[in-house]
Amino acid sequence: MRRWIIGILVVCAIGSARSQEAGLLFSEANQLYRNAEYDKAAAAYEQLIKNGYESPSLYYNLGNARFKLKDVPGSILSYERAKRLAPRDEDILYNLSLANLRVIDKIDPIPEFFFTQWWKDFIRSCSSSTWALIAVSGLWIAVLLAAVVMVLRTPSIRKVLALAAILLVVGSAVAFTGMNLQSRYEHSEELAIIFTPSISVKSSPDLKSTDLFVLHEGLKVEVLDSYANWKKIRLPDGKVGWVQAQSVEII
């Protein structure tokens, strides 16, 4: 038993030390950014990510450093990753829009059915962790209201509280659905950023196949399939083709 306790304490101590080390490196990276040493700041942020740390502010700051270095695809990729974790953050959305202004390809997306677009916007309005908090909180409040209903003897108040509890349960179910869908979106590999300055999109996964159209760095595309070292992509306007895997980075 004593060994288990010692083991747990050691793990906690290591975790605390790693957390302090990460916080120190993040502060150093921020200072490098303030000193206009953007390349060193970007390298420090990327080292944190390689070490397994992830947060909206970390990706956001990396995007800012990449933007200062005039790295269009790198900044957009970082902002998009930050957006997945904090979809309603105004600073992230604003800086992402600024970076997208530097993308050469301006492609209008295919209009979606109103309800489909509304549902996507609704689900992506919160992160998966926020949806989880809403769902759990709603269930706990519903349980408390149900307990109050069991105790109260006033019929009118009991009906109101019972209705509120039912609505909270329904709302929690919606929130759990939002959590699952948003989590899938946050961890999926369906979207990517073009990283090659200029690339010809092929009709099939073969260098000798027909060139369909040309894309430029920074454009966000949907990844449909993979074959060997090729990715099948779809543009916002519905066009489909193949590009070499090394020319894109998954968001």
* Predicted local confidence at residue 4, as pLDDT: 35
Regarding whether 224 and 174 lie in a shared domain, the answer is no
Residue 24 lies in a domain: yes
Regarding whether 172 and 129 lie in a shared domain, the answer is yes
Regarding whether 6 and 78 lie in a shared domain, the answer is yes
Residues pairing with 213 in the sheet: 201
Task: List the one residue out of 186, 184, 197, 199 whose CA is nearest residue 231.
Answer: 199
**Given pLDDT bands bounded at 50, 70 and 90, which one contains residue 188?**
low
Report how far residue 30's alpha carbon sits from residue 24's, in angstroms, rounded to the nearest whole number.
10
Residue 200 lies in a domain: yes
Place of tokens 């209705």: 163
* Predicted local confidence at residue 10, as pLDDT: 34
Regarding whether 91 and 140 lie in a shared domain, the answer is no
* Predicted local confidence at residue 88, as pLDDT: 85
The domain tally of the chain equals 3
**Given pLDDT bands bounded at 50, 70 and 90, which one contains residue 11?**
very low
Q: Look up the CATH number of the domain holding residue 228.
A: 2.30.30.40
Residue 92 lies in a domain: yes
Q: Is the Cβ–Cβ distance between 161 and 141 less than 8 Å?
A: no
Report how far residue 127's alpha carbon sits from residue 121's, in angstroms, rounded to the nearest whole number.
12
Residues pairing with 191 in the sheet: 222
* Predicted local confidence at residue 9, as pLDDT: 31
Residue 73 lies in a domain: yes
Regarding whether 214 and 171 lie in a shared domain, the answer is no
Q: Look up the CATH number of the domain holding residue 17.
A: 1.25.40.10
Regarding whether 83 and 64 lie in a shared domain, the answer is yes
Regarding whether 180 and 139 lie in a shared domain, the answer is yes
Residue 223 lies in a domain: yes
The Cβ-side half-sphere exposure at 198, using a 13 Å CA radius, reads 4
CA dihedral 67, 73, 79, 83 (to 10 degrees): 160
Regarding whether 85 and 45 lie in a shared domain, the answer is yes
Regarding whether 201 and 183 lie in a shared domain, the answer is no
Regarding whether 41 and 16 lie in a shared domain, the answer is yes
* Predicted local confidence at residue 13, as pLDDT: 40
**Given pLDDT bands bounded at 50, 70 and 90, which one contains residue 125?**
confident
Report how far residue 188's alpha carbon sits from residue 132's, in angstroms, rounded to the nearest whole number.
18
Regarding whether 171 and 94 lie in a shared domain, the answer is no
Instruction: Give the structural domain span for 201.
Output: 191-250
Residue 236 lies in a domain: yes
Residue 105 lies in a domain: no
Per-residue pLDDT tens for 192-211? Answer: 999 999 999 999 999 999 99
Task: List the one residue out of 238, 226, 13, 2 whose CA is nearest residue 246.
Answer: 226
For residue 167, is pLDDT > 70?
Answer: yes
Top-confidence residue, 159 or 111: 159
Q: Is the Cβ–Cβ distance between 78 and 63 less than 8 Å?
A: yes
**Given pLDDT bands bounded at 50, 70 and 90, which one contains residue 8?**
very low
* Predicted local confidence at residue 30, as pLDDT: 96
Report how far residue 117's alpha carbon sits from residue 38's, in angstroms, rounded to the nearest whole number.
38
Label residues 127-143 b or e (16+ Cβ within 10 Å = b).
bbebbbebbeebbebbe
Report how far residue 123's alpha carbon sits from residue 163's, in angstroms, rounded to the nearest whole number.
25
